[in-house]
């Protein structure tokens, strides 16, 4: 479901998320909304219902999932929205589902970003393990870890809303780069497939060095040797 942007004149659009420690889920919620709106909205951080009413968008707080009224939360006991693979939606997934196509501009890119970034965020937020470690106490360092690290420690005073905004800025950079990489990878894939199809002796595929990612494309065929 894609919502059209409301024209509110000079009135600043507001989004509310929960206060306290921020997580990849709520950070990416606001990052996605910022890319959708093409500007950063005013950010409110509160668990006070009175504050929620001041915001046009309410993410990851409030106990309501109602896209028509721009309320996106997954913490209510009645919530059971899952993907076909079994990964339950967190707010990042709900927000991406509703606004991501407008940002990605293609189904291929929309789905790739969902698999690569959004589903891992949803899985973590819902306590779903995506992998098993081969070495005890050695874990991959993820972008989720990086977002968590932007929270102040107990010995730091912190800068309140600024810390959250800085995290949103980092999340936007990740989304923008991964969307660009996905877009270019699909262009490359089409070029490589076209070369493959036009090659008579498919054991030897000759291509320009600029086309990255050829292994993933040609690896699905049996003929290519070189």
Assign 187 to helix, strand or coil. helix
> What are the start-end ranges of the H helices in 199-223?
214-218
Cα→Cα distances 171→85, 143, 177, 187, 218, Å: 25, 9, 10, 25, 32
In whole angstroms, give the CA distance from residue 101 to residue 109: 8
User: Does residue 187 register a pLDDT over 90?
Assistant: no
- Greater pLDDT, 211 or 79: 79
- 95 contacts: CB under 8 Å, gap ≥ 6: 28, 29, 32, 33, 59, 72
pLDDT digits (tens, 9 = 90+) for 35-89: 999 999 999 999 999 999 999 999 999 999 999 999 999 999 999 999 999 999 9
User: Does residue 168 register a pLDDT over 80?
Assistant: yes
**pLDDT band at 97; cut points 50, 70, 90:** very high
Instruction: Look up residue 82 and give its DSSP letter.
Output: B
Instruction: Look up residue 201 and give its DSSP letter.
Output: S
Please, how many CA atoms are within 13 Å of residue 3, restricted to the half-sphere of its CB?
A: 20
- 93 contacts: CB under 8 Å, gap ≥ 6: 83, 87, 114, 118, 119, 121, 122
How is residue 62 written in tokens? 């409030």
What does the pLDDT average to over 107-133? 94
* pTM of the model as a whole: 0.84
β-partners of residue 204 are none
Q: In this predicted structure, what is the pLDDT of residue 158?
A: 83
Assign 204 to helix, strand or coil. coil
Q: In this predicted structure, what is the pLDDT of residue 28?
A: 97
Backbone angles phi, psi at 115, to 5 degrees: -70, -40
Phi-psi region of 78 (alpha: psi -120 to 50; beta: other; left: phi over 0): alpha
Q: In this predicted structure, what is the pLDDT of residue 5?
A: 47
DSSP string of 139-174, one letter each residue: ----HHHHHHHTS--TTS---THHHHHHHHHHHHHH
In whole angstroms, give the CA distance from residue 94 to residue 80: 12
DSSP string of 95-129, one letter each residue: HHHHHHHHHH-SHHHHHHHIIIIIHHHHHHHTT--
Look over the chain and give the mean of its residue pLDDT values, rounded to a whole number: 88
Say if strands 57-59 and 65-66 run parallel, antiparallel, or are unpaired.
unpaired
């Amino acid at each position: 479901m894609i919502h059209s942007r409301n024209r509110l004149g000079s009135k600043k659009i507001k989004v509310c998320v929960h206060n306290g420690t921020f997580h990849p889920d709520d950070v990416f919620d606001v990052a996605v909304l910022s890319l959708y709106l093409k500007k950063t909205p005013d950010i409110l951080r509160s668990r006070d219902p009175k504050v929620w009413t001041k915001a046009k968008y309410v993410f990851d707080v409030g106990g309501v999932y109602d896209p028509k009224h721009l309320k996106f939360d997954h913490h209510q006991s009645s919530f059971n929205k899952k993907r076909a693979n079994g990964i339950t939606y967190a707010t990042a997934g709900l927000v991406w589902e509703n606004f991501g196509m407008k940002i990605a501009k293609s189904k291929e890119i929309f789905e790739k970003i969902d698999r690569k970034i959004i589903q891992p965020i949803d899985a973590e937020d819902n306590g779903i393990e995506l992998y098993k470690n081969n070495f005890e106490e050695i874990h991959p360092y993820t972008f989720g870890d990086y977002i968590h690290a932007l929270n102040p420690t107990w010995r730091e005073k912190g800068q309140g809303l600024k810390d959250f905004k800085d995290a949103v800025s980092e999340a936007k950079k990740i989304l923008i780069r991964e969307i660009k990489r996905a877009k270019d990878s699909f262009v490359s894939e089409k070029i490589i497939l076209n070369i493959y199809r036009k090659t008579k002796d498919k054991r030897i595929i000759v291509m320009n060095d600029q086309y990255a990612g050829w292994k993933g494309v040609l690896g699905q065929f049996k003929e290519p040797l070189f």
